[in-house]
Structure 1
């Protein structure tokens, strides 16, 4: 450990090195484990040395977001806008699966970072190059939301909780049944909210593919993404315009 610290001290400190070290710390222990003091220790410098490269913790987080977004595959020239957009969004998702803290930090930013703005600008450019009007592209961006960056916010988590008998059996076929009191509570909840219970007990999710806190595995992500992209293409072919919408009914 001492040799590693000494070796780190001999490498000139710069902004990129600070940001990449911060990303590695967050990857290893979560964003909550990251502090300026711990980052300085990792780099083998005093905390004040960091402030020559990042003004404060918020600027550090902004820079970390830019490092992560920079890992998304670059845009490619292709007449198939649908394929271009799909590949980049799925690339963004894979990046966030490598950096599971990143969606939380992206959402916490009060304004988009330069890398996020550049990414969004290139995605808008892909829609426009594919023949989508400015009007349709505007609504497409709203419809995709954070999905453009590889994650979504779900209405609720419909994955079975670890305490249910179904989850216990999946984890260990020989596991004991849940206590009678808990089973009774589950039956009571199912009776009161039958449709939620039906979904929760029938859903099969890959917990390793979850981004953030939501129930959002790869299949579900691609399923919704493809529905949206196919819908956008139909609207493009129809020459859709927001001005063609029927007037809203008066209250």
Structure 2
């Protein structure tokens, strides 16, 4: 094993090798622990050697996002638009689940890279060739938001694990002031058959919302006016 590591470290440094090593480090220890110094140490080079391949930390993060997006499966060419979009987005979600840090990094990017733009262009093309007007597709992409890349910003984050007795006290104290919030929180806490254990089933919630959106888009495709809708006042 040590011999394999030494061989890898002697391999010529390249942008792809730098990015994949950074992704592996973030997967193992979290994005907050990633630094140019640690990455250089992992690759067996001096930190300055990295800057021949990535100009700075921001370019490194852009490249790491590209590596993750490249893992998204190709379009399903023989499927109808809804099945093709659903399959592509669920593939994006699987890529994000393999790299839990990626959603945080994607949210910090201000300009999409060519890799991300290529993916977005492909997804938009599925709607356009599926019979959606450019105007409706514009609104569809707004509605999808970050879901096109496999993640959502959840309103209700799972709380830290607590023992049942403490949880019962918390719910009891909340119930008077926030009866409906407490009601749905208790419903989620009692879903013992959830595939991810007690609490909300994140995959189910993601697919539930995705299917609602796709069904709504399908209805709008049949009724949307040919011209752009008037702007809201």
TM-score by length of 1: 0.83
- Matched with 1:219 is 204
* Residues 100-133 of structure 1, C-alpha deviations (whole Å, 9 max, x = no match): 0000000011111221111111111110000000
Partner of 1:173: none
Cα distance in structure 2, aligned partners of 1:242 and 1:152: 30
Which residue in 2 is equivalent to 1:121?
Answer: 121
Question: Residues 88-109 of structure 1: CA distance to partner in whole angstroms, max 9, x if unpaired?
Answer: 0000000000000000000011
Paired residues of 2:20 and 2:64 also in contact (CA < 8 A): yes
Look up the match of 1:42.
42
Gaps of 5+ in 2: none
**1:71 aligned residue:** 71
Distance 2:187 2:67 in 1: 38
CA RMSD between the two structures: 2.4
Whole-angstrom CA distance in 2 between matches of 1:149 and 1:31: 18
Whether the 8 Å contact between 1:5 and 1:43 is mirrored in structure 2 is: no
* CA–CA distance in structure 1, aligned partners of residues 172 and 118 of structure 2: 50
Q: Which residue of 2 aligns with 1:11?
A: 11
Distance 1:58 1:22 in 2: 12
Do structure 1's residue 197 and structure 2's residue 182 form an aligned pair?
Answer: yes
Q: Distance in 2 between matches of 1:189 and 1:89?
A: 37
Is 1:149 the counterpart of 2:134 in the alignment? no
CA–CA separation in structure 2 for the residues paired with 1:227 and 1:84: 16
Residue 168 of structure 1 aligns with which residue?
none
1:234 to 209, 214, 219: 219
Q: TM-score, normalised by structure 2?
A: 0.89
